[in-house]
């Protein structure tokens, strides 16, 4: 036993040294990579299987879970037994909380430059009292997450029981889908996602509330909460932008699907299904109630656009983020009106922020084009389906027109890389790639995770 402890201690102390030698960006990349590998190893153990799963498919599921994407090449329910499914859930729970809290926590404690984040997270910009310590902040986030997931699970349980599901199965399905919805993971135990529940108002509501809360994130939600309950007179500029942007895009998406999508047959639940389609793309949760593969071309493109944008930078959602889009629109707007100062809603946006937004926009868009281009060489599917799959993987959404399982091995490998980049963040990934070349310049790249 002592010997084992010794070995473990040595590995940990080696890893600690390794961490300290790397930039925060590189640490983040290695951290996600480590979790993916651990997930892969656990999911490879045959005792968790119902049927055998190939090497590449196991890596695919592990990456998909850690990145909270939810794309799968094989059915989770058909391939894994209860404990296998539990591991998948733990992985996307780690991935989900990871992005919202561990990332922040980690960056704060592996770098000495916590000034910016500290002020941003605990101080002036958001309405939390200044005295709260970082550790308490992270605790609050985790508590918030667990409370939401417990409430979600209870509601799911009621809903599933109403549909006649047996108790034990309903308990497990409730927990799994509640965590999956809040972490915007989109992993499901039904092989057709929520298509059987497309007109179930309660289930639609539960998923929507959880996914919106998760994707907007703790900071935005508490900011709005303090405003609504009157503990604060106003919300921060960032919260305002995210909320407005989210509501506008959600409204646009719902309206467009409602008035033009021919594949929705039912007229009773047409509005619910339209809302769900826009919501699932924007929050990047990735559950679906109508068949994505049957969507008409214009709607498929609009959903691709929504996945490309995503939601809030403080939540579990992927995508380019509403804040990036807003900064880009501000540049164009200010230019067209001949203004020297770049502003939005009468607030000047600092140069640094525009610089990050433009870089993110360029990097994100280039990666989508590059991978789509590569996949047109390796796959034989329609162009729009390939583009959709790429936007879904990079945005960690998990919607698919049904081609995921039929991807070539190269296609699966490229999708794994996309999900990984999508979760780590395009700029962080870029930095990590170039780390050797700019070691001395960490100072100026400290706040890149905010966009």
Angle at 165 between CA 162 and CA 168, to 5 degrees: 120
What is the β-pairing status of strands 347-348 and 343-344?
Answer: antiparallel
Provide the minimum distance between the beta carbon of 248 and a second copy in the complex, in angstroms, as a whole number: 16
DSSP 327-378: HHHHHHHHHHTT-SS-EETTEEPPHHHHHHHHHHHHHHHHHHHHHHHHHHHH
User: Which of K ion, a second copy, none does residue 232 bind (CB under 5 to 8 Å by kind)?
Assistant: none
Binding residue for K ion, selected from 319, 398, 422, 430, defined by CB under 5 A: 398
Comparison of 17 and 437: residue with beta carbon closer to a second copy: 437
Binding residue for K ion, selected from 24, 39, 70, 422, defined by CB under 5 A: 70
Provide the minimum distance between the beta carbon of 387 and a second copy in the complex, in angstroms, as a whole number: 8
Contact assessment for residue 241 and residue 330, using Cβ atoms and an 8 Å cutoff? no
User: Which of K ion, a second copy, none does residue 186 bind (CB under 5 to 8 Å by kind)?
Assistant: K ion
Binding characters for K ion, 312-341, by CB under 5 A (x = yes): ------------------------------
Q: Exposed/middle/buried for 268, CB within 10 Å: 0-12, 13-18, 19+?
A: exposed
Binding characters for K ion, 170-199, by CB under 5 A (x = yes): --------------x-x-------------
Segment contacting K ion by CB under 5 A, of 64-72, 99-107, 229-237, 321-329: 64-72
Whole-angstrom Cα distance, residue 235 to residue 226?
8
Binning the chain into helix, strand and coil, the percentages to the nearest 5 are: 70, 0, 25
Provide the minimum distance between the beta carbon of 427 and a second copy in the complex, in angstroms, as a whole number: 7
Q: Which two tokens stand for residue 166?
A: 């047996």
Which contacts qualify for 153-160: CB closer than 8 Å, 24 or more apart? 153/178, 153/179, 155/202, 155/206, 156/203, 156/206, 158/202, 159/200, 159/202, 159/203, 159/206
395 makes contact with K ion (CB under 5 A): no
Binding characters for K ion, 286-305, by CB under 5 A (x = yes): x-------------------
Q: Exposed/middle/buried for 345, CB within 10 Å: 0-12, 13-18, 19+?
A: exposed
Provide the minimum distance between the beta carbon of 338 and a second copy in the complex, in angstroms, as a whole number: 3
In the complex, the residues that contact a second copy under the rule CB under 8 A are: 260, 297-298, 301-302, 305, 328-329, 331-332, 335-340, 342, 351, 355-356, 358-359, 362-363, 365, 369, 372-373, 376-377, 382-384, 427, 430-431, 434, 437-438, 441-445
Q: Return all residues near 209 (Cβ < 8 A) that are at least 6 apart.
A: 152
217 makes contact with K ion (CB under 5 A): no
95 makes contact with K ion (CB under 5 A): no
Q: Which two tokens stand for residue 191?
A: 């092989």
Segment contacting K ion by CB under 5 A, of 46-54, 92-100, 281-289, 439-447: 281-289
Comparison of 197 and 302: residue with beta carbon closer to a second copy: 302
Comparison of 121 and 416: residue with beta carbon closer to K ion: 416
Comparison of 248 and 332: residue with beta carbon closer to a second copy: 332
């Amino acid at each position: 036993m002592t010997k084992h402890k010794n070995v473990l201690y040595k590995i940990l102390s080696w890893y600690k040294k390794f961490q300290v030698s790397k930039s925060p960006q590189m640490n983040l990349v290695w951290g996600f990579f480590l979790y993916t590998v651990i997930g892969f190893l656990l999911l490879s153990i045959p005792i968790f299987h119902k049927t055998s799963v190939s090497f590449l498919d196991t890596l695919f599921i592990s990456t998909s879970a850690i990145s909270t994407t939810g794309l799968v090449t094989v059915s989770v329910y058909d391939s894994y037994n209860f404990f296998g499914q539990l591991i998948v859930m733990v992985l996307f729970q780690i991935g989900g909380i990871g992005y919202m809290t561990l990332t922040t926590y980690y960056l704060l404690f592996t770098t000495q430059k916590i000034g910016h984040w500290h002020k941003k997270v605990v101080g002036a910009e958001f309405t939390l009292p200044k005295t709260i310590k970082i550790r308490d902040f992270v605790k609050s986030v985790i508590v918030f997450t667990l409370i939401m997931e417990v409430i979600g699970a209870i509601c799911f349980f009621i809903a599933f029981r109403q549909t006649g599901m047996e108790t034990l199965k309903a308990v497990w399905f409730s927990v799994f889908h509640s965590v999956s919805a809040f972490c915007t993971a989109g992993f499901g135990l039904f092989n057709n996602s929520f298509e059987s529940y497309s007109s179930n108002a309660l289930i639609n509501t539960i998923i929507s509330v959880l996914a919106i809360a998760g994707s907007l994130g703790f900071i935005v939600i508490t900011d709005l909460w303090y405003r609504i309950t009157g503990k604060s007179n106003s919300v921060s500029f960032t919260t305002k932008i995210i909320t407005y942007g989210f509501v506008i895009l959600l409204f646009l998406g719902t309206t467009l699907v409602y008035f033009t999508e021919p594949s929705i047959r039912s007229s009773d639940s047409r509005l619910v299904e339209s809302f769900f389609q826009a919501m699932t793309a924007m929050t990047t949760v990735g559950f679906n109630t109508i068949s994505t593969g049957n969507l008409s071309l214009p709607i498929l493109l609009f959903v691709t656009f929504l996945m490309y944008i995503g939601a809030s930078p403080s939540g579990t959602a992927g995508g380019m983020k509403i804040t990036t889009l807003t900064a880009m629109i501000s540049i164009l707007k200010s230019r067209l009106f001949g203004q020297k100062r770049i502003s939005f809603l009468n607030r000047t946006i600092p140069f640094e922020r525009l610089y990050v937004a433009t870089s993110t926009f360029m990097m994100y868009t280039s990666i989508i084009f590059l991978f789509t281009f590569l996949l047109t060489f390796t796959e034989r599917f329609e162009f729009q389906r390939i583009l959709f799959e790429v936007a879904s993987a990079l945005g960690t959404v998990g919607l698919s027109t049904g081609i995921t399982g039929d991807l070539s091995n190269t296609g699966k490998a490229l999708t794994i890389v996309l999900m990984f980049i999508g979760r780590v963040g395009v700029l962080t990934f870029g930095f990590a790639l170039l780390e050797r070349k700019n070691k001395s310049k960490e100072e100026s790249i400290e706040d890149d995770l905010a966009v």
